[in-house]
Structure 1
Amino acid sequence: MNVDILLYDGFDELDAVGPYEVFQTAGAFGADCEARMVTLADAESVTASHGLRVGVDGTLGDAHDPDAGGPNVLLVPGGGWSDSSKSGAGMEAEKGAIPEAVAAHADRGGVVAGVCTGGMLLARAGVLDGRRAVTHASALDDLRATDAVVTEARFVDDGDVLTAGGVTSGLDLALHLVERECGADVAARVAGEIEYERRSEPVEK
């Protein structure tokens, strides 16, 4: 499983770094699992919502070869949805480039995942139309205004589209993906390694 985590200025730190650690830990345990931090345009680093500067591994355009084996997952973190005048998911929704990239990835048959208000960027891309989904509690009314089937769960697995609620639920989504693609034993070992108690089962299609 190859995971590209798409960063932008103002993303929430844990939305991206938490899943990244889960995926990389699974890989360290021998699973076919690798994660990268990517951006749409060349950048050495991106500044997150609380000021953390995160290094970038590459751009989405040089993503993994789809023939390399395993699903290609594009994970979009959230952060800063309510005020589109500031860096964050709201501003990226208005710019439109990230929603376009998400839609293109889905059209190529890739798996897309949104953590927190990253789910709103998936909604803007149209990939949540008619699909079960959740986002951060503060944006649920905005999600209800789309064509998504809003499900108030910690995270939702709708096949090739997955969404998680607020911040720490991204850990549950990532562990679920590891279990789904790499096995329950690997997911349990990762959860033990990071000393995280998984809190819920997903709502599945």
Structure 2
Amino acid sequence: MDVQIVLYEGFDELDAIGPFEVFANATRAGGDLPPTLVTLDERDTVTASHGLRVGVDGVLSDPDLLVVPGGGWNDRSTAGAWSQVEQGDLPDAVARVAETDALVTSVCTGGMVLAHAGVLDGRPAVTHRGALDDLREFDVEVREERVVDDGDVVTAGGVTSGIDLALHLVERFAGADVAEQVTTEMEWERGSERTE
């Protein structure tokens, strides 16, 4: 399975790196979920919201599973999800991916990118609690769980819930045993998840 985590200037580090580590560990444990870090344009690195510079593997193509991290939404940062929505390129790219057979997911305020892409219309979803009122402005059934699975769209709440989202997907695609191995290796206590 081609797992792509799309990065942009100002993304929240843990939103992307938490799921990356879960998927990488799951692949080492026998799952087929190797993650790659991608951007919308050719570049070598991206600078995250707390200053971490991250290397990039390539450009967003046609993933089987897309992860959209958040960051910079609640403070309307000039770099981050808010800025990406204002520019429009990332929501457009997410909408294109959603038109394929890909599973589209978000962590934290990456859910706002999905909302602006029209991916969450008429669906249950969650985002960071600081952006729930913004999400309510869309045709979305707003939930306040850590993970909301609506089949081909899965959203997660605040920052650390990205780890739960990735573990949920590992269990869905690689089985409970692989998810348990990853949970044990990472010493992670899974949050309560809500699935539809």
TM-score for both structures, normalised by structure 1 = 0.93
- The superposition leaves residues 122-157 of structure 1 with CA deviations (integer Å, 9 ceiling, x where unpaired) of 000000000000000100000000111101111100
Give the structure 1 partner of residue 126 of structure 2: 134
Give the structure 1 partner of residue 5 of structure 2: 5
Matches within 5 A, 1:98-109: 98-109=90-101
DSSP-derived class of the 1:4 partner = strand
1:203, distance to aligned residue in structure 2 (A): 2.9
Asked if 1:87 corresponds to 2:83, the answer is: no
Q: Which of 128, 132, 143 does residue 135 from structure 2 map onto?
A: 143
RMSD: 1.0
Give the structure 2 partner of residue 69 of structure 1: none
Give the unaligned 5+ runs of structure 1. 65-71
Q: Which of 146, 152, 156 does residue 154 from structure 1 map onto?
A: 146
Give the unaligned 5+ runs of structure 2. none
DSSP-derived class of the 1:99 partner = helix
Give the structure 1 partner of residue 175 of structure 2: 183
1:99, distance to aligned residue in structure 2 (A): 0.5
Give the whole-Å Cα distance in 2 for the aligned partners of 1:16 and 1:116. 10
Question: Which amino acid is the alignment partner of residue 185 of structure 2?
Answer: E
Aligned residues: 196
Conserved 8 A contact 1:40-1:59: yes
After TM superposition, where is structure 1 displaced by more than 4 Å over at least 4 residues in a row?
none
Give the structure 1 partner of residue 19 of structure 2: 19
Give the whole-Å Cα distance in 2 for the aligned partners of 1:140 and 1:3. 27
TM-score for both structures, normalised by structure 2 = 0.97
Give the whole-Å Cα distance in 1 for the aligned partners of 2:69 and 2:191. 20
Give the structure 1 partner of residue 33 of structure 2: 33
Give the whole-Å Cα distance in 1 for the aligned partners of 2:77 and 2:163. 29
Give the structure 2 partner of residue 115 of structure 1: 107
